[in-house]
Amino acid sequence: MPVSKSEQMVPMKDYEELRLKLKILEAKRQEDRERHRENEKVKEEAEQFLTLRNKLQDKISELQKDLRDTKRQLKESMSEKDSYEAKYTDIIESMEMMTLDKEVAEERAENLQQEVNLLKDKIEEISVDLDILRKEADILNRPPTDSNGDDKTPLEVIQLERHNERLKDALMR
């Protein structure tokens, strides 16, 4: 059945209303498209973020491993440093003790050298005394000879020689 023109016609008021609704719907549709594009963009950014996040987590894990290794190496280095410092301190103390021992040994050597020199002097004195005593013994064991009053006895001569030797030693010191 054909529809007449009068029946086909929509009143202007309804037409304007429908037209306004159509514009509103078109505007909403445009907004929906923009939101859809923004959502797609956000979705892409989220995917990129997830990819980057995984890469960053891998990098963080690697850096944390490096940090643990570095801390371990630092701890070992500090331990070695402490060990070397302790050894250094022990060596310094040993050197100081050796230096003191050396000084004591040098002082003792000097004292012993002085004692040796004194003993040599005593040996010389005793040797001189021994020679004098031997000469005296020889003189005393000799038979007496005639002597005139001016000559001294051999014993007196020996005693004078001995006295002279002691005076010489005293002057030399």
In a domain, 60, yes or no: yes
Q: Which domain holds residue 46?
A: 13-143+151-172
Query: What is the pLDDT, as a whole number, of residue 161?
Result: 83
What does the pLDDT look like over 1-25, one tens digit per residue?
Answer: 554 555 556 677 888 888 899 999 9
- C-alpha separations of 103 from 90, 100, 108, 111 in Å: 20, 5, 8, 12
In a domain, 131, yes or no: yes
What does the pLDDT look like over 48-79, one tens digit per residue?
Answer: 999 999 999 999 999 999 999 999 999 999 99
In a domain, 3, yes or no: no
pTM for the full predicted model: 0.42
Q: Which amino acid is at 161?
A: E
What mean pLDDT is reported for the chain?
Answer: 87
> What residues contact 135, with CB distance under 8 A and at least 6 apart?
154, 158
Question: How many distinct structural domains can be found in the chain?
Answer: 1
Integer Cα distance of 141 and 147 in angstroms: 17
In a domain, 5, yes or no: no
Instruction: Write the DSSP assignment of 63-74 as a string of letters.
Output: HHHHHHHHHHHH
